[in-house]
Amino acid sequence: MLFNSYLFVLCFLPLCVWGFHNKKKLGGEASTKILLIVGSLLFLGLSDVWSALVLLLSMGVNYVIYRAMVESSQKKKWLVLGLAVNILALLGFKYTGSSFVPLGISFFTFTQIAFLMEAYRGTIKRTSPVDYGVYVTFFPKIMQGPIMLPGEMQAQITGAFQKKAFDWEAAYRGFALFVMGLSKKVLLADTLGSAVNHGYTNLAALHTGDAWILMLSYTLQLYFDFSGYCDMAMGVAKMMGFSLPLNFNSPYKAENIIEFWKGWHITLTRFFTKYLYIPLGGNRKGKGRTYFNVLFVFLISGIWHGAGITFIVWGLLHGILNVITRWWQEKRGKKEKSKVMRLFCVAATFLYVNLAWVFFRSSSLAQACEVLKKLVSFDFERINRNFALCFQQDEFWYVIKVIGLDKYEWSVYLLMVAMLMVSLLIVFLAKTAARVSERMKPSFVNNVVLAVLLVWCMLTFSEVSTFLYVNF
């Protein structure tokens, strides 16, 4: 099931929020937890029933290993077994050419690895099968994260299930965050995605200007798609009394690649730092080892995203620049930069990230190289008309026709320019949706804006598309 669907918005979500806040009618805390697990499996199963079955099997195996580990004097052997089972399952499904890859396997696998690691370290209390099921399956995060640590969820399971009074303000802020995330996905990401798909399918017809717009469009699409999902997940969780960790914090405003990764997919960065970078030695064994560890982590990050060579190149591009940035910062020291220099650094980092995303999106190195060649070929022509038309939204095009602008040839480019400008303004000037929602309170203006956005998004559900990170 997708967040951006009638079934979820009109049926599943209201039932979950009502049921969670009416525990007594459902038989109490234990019954509500079981129903939440069942509902989460249903959420996944309605997209793909086999994925839900794989998740159930994975949970069963991991929980048995967990119990054996905490009750054994040879905890490390059980931990190694648990890590091997999870990693081999992930590799088997994603990297052996399997025709079936369970939805969310990367996220629920990392969630369970984190649980085994923290259980081995003794940082979490003993967990019942039901509480473990809630932690792993919790439907807002099951398919695309954010990746929660077990300690974060354990405290909330106790608090949320024992909470008696319904927090209307928290629910309202959660609803607002959900609508803002939905708007990012449906109104921005999907429109940009239509143009991106057309561009990559018809590269031969594109010129230099088209290629720059194509590259920028994918950069924006990926951000609005993934951050929109995470906003929706946080909003849904908040309506139910839970708090998911922030996964995006204005990454494209970063002045360097290190800052970028502090704002992009924050929980994945935290996972790799905590369970890979630090165990490898982190920065405790000299500069050379530190740089190697950084490169290795980004290599693994690239492989995690996909089996193709393009993902490895993408990971190494980020790793290499990360190492160079660390070296430069150590050499230069902490020196205050002028405003002009900070703007230049933001622009340079944003450009580099754009170029790296070309490899992330391309189906092969040859296709990525073709896009890069077009970027620097100086083959400037009028923007391809069919490419520009992909940015059109019917409701806006209707307005253009009503006011008579459609008779001008340049009118087909208006909405393309508007879409890109609005997207860039949101990325670089607007506050994050999470920050905006935290300050929102019920008011006539806020209610009207949220209602309009929600209805507008729902009217666009006829062109439902899945989320990009479901594939990873």
pLDDT at 463 over 70: no
Amino acid, single-letter form, for residue 456 = W
| Cα–Cα nearest to 89, from 62, 70, 121 | 62
In angstroms, the first-to-last Cα distance of the chain is 17
Cα–Cα distance, 47 to 50 (Å, whole number)? 9
pLDDT tens-digit profile of 100-114? 889 989 999 999 999
The residue among 408 and 147 whose pLDDT is bigger is: 147
* Position 19 confidence tier, pLDDT thresholds 50, 70, 90: confident
The residue among 199 and 307 whose pLDDT is bigger is: 199
Q: Which of 21, 198, 265, 305 is catalytic?
A: 305
Mean pLDDT over 207-211 rounds to: 94
* Position 337 confidence tier, pLDDT thresholds 50, 70, 90: confident
* Position 469 confidence tier, pLDDT thresholds 50, 70, 90: low
Q: Is residue 57 part of a domain?
A: yes
* Position 33 confidence tier, pLDDT thresholds 50, 70, 90: confident
| Chain centroid, CA 205 distance in Å | 31
Mean pLDDT over 294-316 rounds to: 92
* DSSP of 181-222: HHHIIIIIIHHHHHHHHHHHHTGGG--HHHHHHHHHHHHHHH
Burial class (CB in 10 A: 0-12, 13-18, 19+), 462: exposed
Cα–Cα distance, 416 to 419 (Å, whole number)? 5
Q: Please give the pLDDT value at position 161.
A: 67
**CB neighbours (10 Å) of residue 329?**
13
The yes-or-no answer on residue 305 being catalytic is yes
Contacts 24+ apart (CB under 8 A), 71-79: 75/120, 76/120, 79/116, 79/117, 79/120
Q: Please give the pLDDT value at position 334.
A: 74
Q: Is residue 351 part of a domain?
A: no
Q: Is residue 373 part of a domain?
A: no
Q: Please give the pLDDT value at position 409.
A: 73
Q: Please give the pLDDT value at position 423.
A: 95
Domain limits for position 81: 22-165
* Position 399 confidence tier, pLDDT thresholds 50, 70, 90: low
Q: Is residue 49 part of a domain?
A: yes
Q: Is the peptide bond before 146 cis (omega within 30 degrees of 0)?
A: yes
How many percent of the chain have pLDDT more than 70?
93
| Cα–Cα nearest to 150, from 176, 170, 122, 186 | 122
* Position 263 confidence tier, pLDDT thresholds 50, 70, 90: very high
Which of 49-53, 144-148, 156-160, 166-170 reaches the highest mean pLDDT? 49-53
Q: Please give the pLDDT value at position 467.
A: 65
Q: Is residue 177 part of a domain?
A: no
pLDDT at 306 over 60: yes
Q: How many domains does the chain have?
A: 1
| Mean pLDDT value across the chain | 89
Lowest mean pLDDT among 17-21, 61-65, 392-396: 392-396
Q: Please give the pLDDT value at position 466.
A: 66
Q: Is residue 61 part of a domain?
A: yes
CB 32, CB 19: distance < 8 Å: yes
* Position 162 confidence tier, pLDDT thresholds 50, 70, 90: low
Joined tokens for residue 3? 């967040």
Q: Is residue 378 part of a domain?
A: no
Cα–Cα distance, 325 to 169 (Å, whole number)? 43
Q: Is residue 79 part of a domain?
A: yes
Mean pLDDT over 230-244 rounds to: 93
Q: Please give the pLDDT value at position 437.
A: 93
